[in-house]
Amino acid sequence: MRALFLGLISVLATLGTGVAAQAEPVHGIAMHGQPALPADFKNFPYVKPDVKKGGRVSYGVVGTFDSLNPFILKSMRTTARGMLDPEYGNLVYDSLMQRSRDEAFSLYGLLAETVEWDDDRTFIQFNLNPKAKWADGQPVTPEDVIFTFELFRDKGRVPFSTRLAKVDKVEKIGERSVRFTFNDKADREFPLLIAMTPILPKHAIDVATFDQTSLKFPLGSGPYRVAEVKPGERIVYKRNPDYWAKDLPAKIGFDNYDEISVEYFLQDNSLFEAFKKGEIDIYPEGSPTKWARSYNFPAVQSGKVIKDTFTPKTPSGMLGFVFNTRRSMFENPKLRQGLALVFDFEWANKNLFDGAYTRTQSFWQNSGLSYLGVAADSRELGLLGDIRNRINPSVLDGTYRLPVTDASGRDRNVLREAVTLLREAGYGIKDGKMLSAQGIPLAFEIMTQNEGQEKLALTYQRSLAALGIAASVRTVDDSQYQQRTQSFDYDIIMKSFPSSLSPGIEQVTYWGSQSRDQQGSSNFAGVADKDVDTLVDHILRAVSVEDFTAAVRAHDRLLVSNFYLVPLYHVGSQWVAREKRIGRPSIVPLYGYQLPAWFDETVQ
């Protein structure tokens, strides 16, 4: 008994000294469950591990750029591609851990050789790889990690600027470890977001000017260096032959080109013509009509250009005409629902897209996270509580579907249903115009970005006009579009909301009250709803897979019932055309094709 008492005193004394809790170092972490790959894994399964590195690739994008700093608000829409890039890879900056695209949400060691955390995720400790170094040869240190997060807090943009708001303290542990201890604002996803944050070199950053746009070549720890810049036209990256992580398991089979160039174009037509001429090597295609009709040029016929179709195993996401609820006319959900029903998907799919698209009914369609065909069970109803009263009963039982028209462009039955909803919202038709109870015409502008969006908006405009609704369509140039979307200066825009198998903090950015007035956020609909916040919080705090699934479905049901947008369409395939000399691994991961794992087959 005395020994037990002395042991208890020892434990209490240890706690009193503030000694940090200990955990076993691990090679990888997962949002739910355990990482799929063991500690001794050799490479990710979707790469070609014995690939011969060398050669070059040329990507093409529509737009412009005026900065090489992707971490600040002033250049968040015009940063050169490749600096911090989900499609081409983070070419210049490494993060603490690397994500596997063949798992829902798992991370493996990169700058951090191992990590430590507890079951409740009250802290995470990153033990830096002793080999990690910057491109100038200096080592990556705990001081660099701490400096980066403090710099982002003081000078960065959302979401980087808000990371430390959920951290109670960040401290150096030993010679090469950094520990983040979280406060009560943190959720279970947050440690993984910390792990994916790119790290900057303290010795090479001018803090005073960091928040200004700049074309100064940055120093990073990543696989490439910036080699050439033509502002707004071209950026070229050269592979660093001394890249410290080239033999790490999480980096085997990636970063295969000696040179990567990104060419900028004012219009997609110009970009496509450049691809046809061989000036661009890879062209991701988003139009089913174009994919079916426009690839009959000589390079395709000769086999010089290859067409690939990929089928990812991910949710559909949601594309739609988004209502800016910051505008008073769009505050009423009945009005939004009525306007959503006016869009004739069947007509557009038949006449514009050769029937290639499927109507999107859910933000997580084609996955087990969707509400479609699934009635809310006791677990989900418990999460919803009184919020269930705001959800359409047919959405709650999983049977709701958007009405199917006769594809005439003027289906009387569907338009009658829309008029009923508009009447419930306080509008009625008088002298051929849709008017509010105060006699104010229902009129708004649809802002579009390109010819494809404009064509669809004009289709919607014609259907709205049949009900006396005056919708104007305005297509603006890229810089004006970016400026207006960043400042929420629009009535309706077309936007895509990608969905993953592990939704998390991005849902706050899309729908959270705290992001509504943050310029540059992705809360395009202007949502500030405590019930939406509650359901997003359930997602972030879910521990078990069952609770997580129930939380996402509940969130899906409320979003669908609130009609923040007009749901449009999706396809289940990814289409990419490439020069024959550009090779790719044979295995396609869960999230679809991964350009950073492709390579130049002409390298001997």
Summary mean pLDDT of the chain: 94
The pLDDT value given to residue 14: 36
CA neighbor of 383 nearest in space, from 550, 545, 546? 550
Q: Outline where DSSP puts E strands in 191-336.
A: 224-230, 234-239, 259-265, 282-285, 305-310, 318-323
Residue 391 within any structural domain of the chain: yes
Model pLDDT, residue 78: 83
The number of distinct structural domains making up the chain is 1
pLDDT tens track for 334-360:
999 999 999 999 999 999 988 989 999
Counting every residue, how long is the chain?
A: 604
Query: Each residue of 121-172: pLDDT tens digit?
Result: 999 999 999 999 999 999 999 999 999 999 999 999 988 999 999 999 999 9
Q: Which amino acid is at 178?
A: V
Amino acid, res. 147: F
Question: Does some domain include residue 229?
Answer: no
Task: Give pLDDT, residue 139.
Answer: 98
Whether 389 is in a domain gets the answer yes
**For residue 9, pLDDT beyond 50:** no
Q: Residue 211: is its pLDDT beyond 50?
A: yes
Flag whether 25 is in a domain: no
Asked whether residue 18 carries a pLDDT value surpassing 90, the answer given is no
Structure-token pair, residue 308 = 């690939």
Q: Judge whether residue 2 has pLDDT over 90.
A: no
Q: Is 411 helix (H, G, I), strand (E, B) or coil?
A: coil
Nearest to 384 by CA among 535, 537, 541: 535
- Per residue in 469-508, pLDDT tens? 999 999 998 889 988 999 999 999 999 999 999 999 999 9
Q: How far apart are CA 220 and CA 201, in angstroms?
A: 7
Q: How far apart are CA 285 and CA 292, in angstroms?
A: 10
Cis peptide bond prior to 159, omega within 30° of 0? yes
pLDDT > 50? residue 389: yes
Q: What is the DSSP string of 542-573?
A: --SHHHHHHHHHHHHHHHHHHT-EEE-EE-S-
User: pLDDT above 90 covers what percent of the chain?
Assistant: 88
Q: Is residue 401 part of a domain?
A: yes
Query: CA-to-CA distance for 309 and 324, rounded, in angstroms?
Result: 35
Query: Which residue in this structure is represented by tokens 């959405």?
Result: 395
Residue owning tokens 């050439």: 228
Alpha helices in 466-529 (DSSP H): 478-486, 506-511
Strands 443-448 and 492-497: parallel
The boundaries of the domain holding residue 392 are 318-570
Residue 4 pLDDT > 60, yes or no? no
Q: Given this model, what pLDDT does residue 194 score?
A: 97
Give the per-residue pLDDT at 21.
54
pTM recorded for the entire structure: 0.81
Q: What is the pLDDT of residues 434-465, one digit of tens each?
A: 999 999 999 999 999 988 899 999 999 999 99
* Percent of the chain clearing pLDDT 70 (strictly above): 96
C-alpha closest to that of 164 among 197, 210, 141, 142: 197
What is the 8-class DSSP label of residue 51? P
- Residue 20 covered by a domain: no
Helices (H) and strands (E) in the chain, counts: 16, 25
Q: What is the CATH number of the domain that holds 403?
A: 3.10.105.10
Q: What is the pLDDT of residue 363?
A: 98
Are the C-beta atoms of residues 460 and 469 closer than 8 Å to each other? no
498 within domain boundaries: yes
Task: Tell me the pLDDT tens digit for each residue of 165-183.
Answer: 999 999 999 999 999 999 9
SS3 annotation, 345-378: HHHHHHHHCCCCCEECCCCCCCCCCCCCCCCCCH
Is residue 95 included in any domain, yes or no? no
CA distances from 102 to 41, 46, 250, 390, 540 (A): 14, 7, 12, 36, 21
